[in-house]
Amino acid sequence: MTTLHQEHTAHGHAHGPDCGHTEVPHGDHVDYAHDGHLHRAHGGHWDECEPAGHTAHASHEHRHGENCGHARVTHGDHVDYLHDGHRHAAHEGHWDDH
């Protein structure tokens, strides 16, 4: 899955283990959930960490929901669920990898 490089400009907050935002493991880095979007450190600045395109998560039989046991992260107009080192989002009858 490719991630777009979208710099988050004017981001004065320094994310880290004690910053108060949810840490989201994402591939080879950590995202921080902040104001409905996800930030990652990149080249001395913060990027929006958004997938490029649509990536369905094949063979995902688990139904996420309020009491499924996975952490919930607000992401734009929906909720992602942290599961096995990535985020899942409901999309048209299946789950997407975010």
Contact yes or no for 1/51 (Cβ under 8 A): yes
Of 11-15, 33-37, 38-42, 76-80, minimum mean pLDDT range: 11-15
Q: What is the largest CA-CA distance in the chain?
A: 40
**pLDDT per residue as tens digits for the range 26-44:** 778 888 887 777 888 888 8
- Domain residue ranges of the chain, discontinuous segments joined by +: 6-97
Residue 72 contacts by C-beta under 8 Å, 6 or more apart in sequence? 66, 79, 80, 81, 82
| pTM metric for this prediction | 0.62
pLDDT at residue 49 tops 80:
no
Of 76-80, 83-87, 88-92, minimum mean pLDDT range: 83-87
Is residue 2 very low, low, confident or very high in pLDDT (cuts 50, 70, 90)? very low
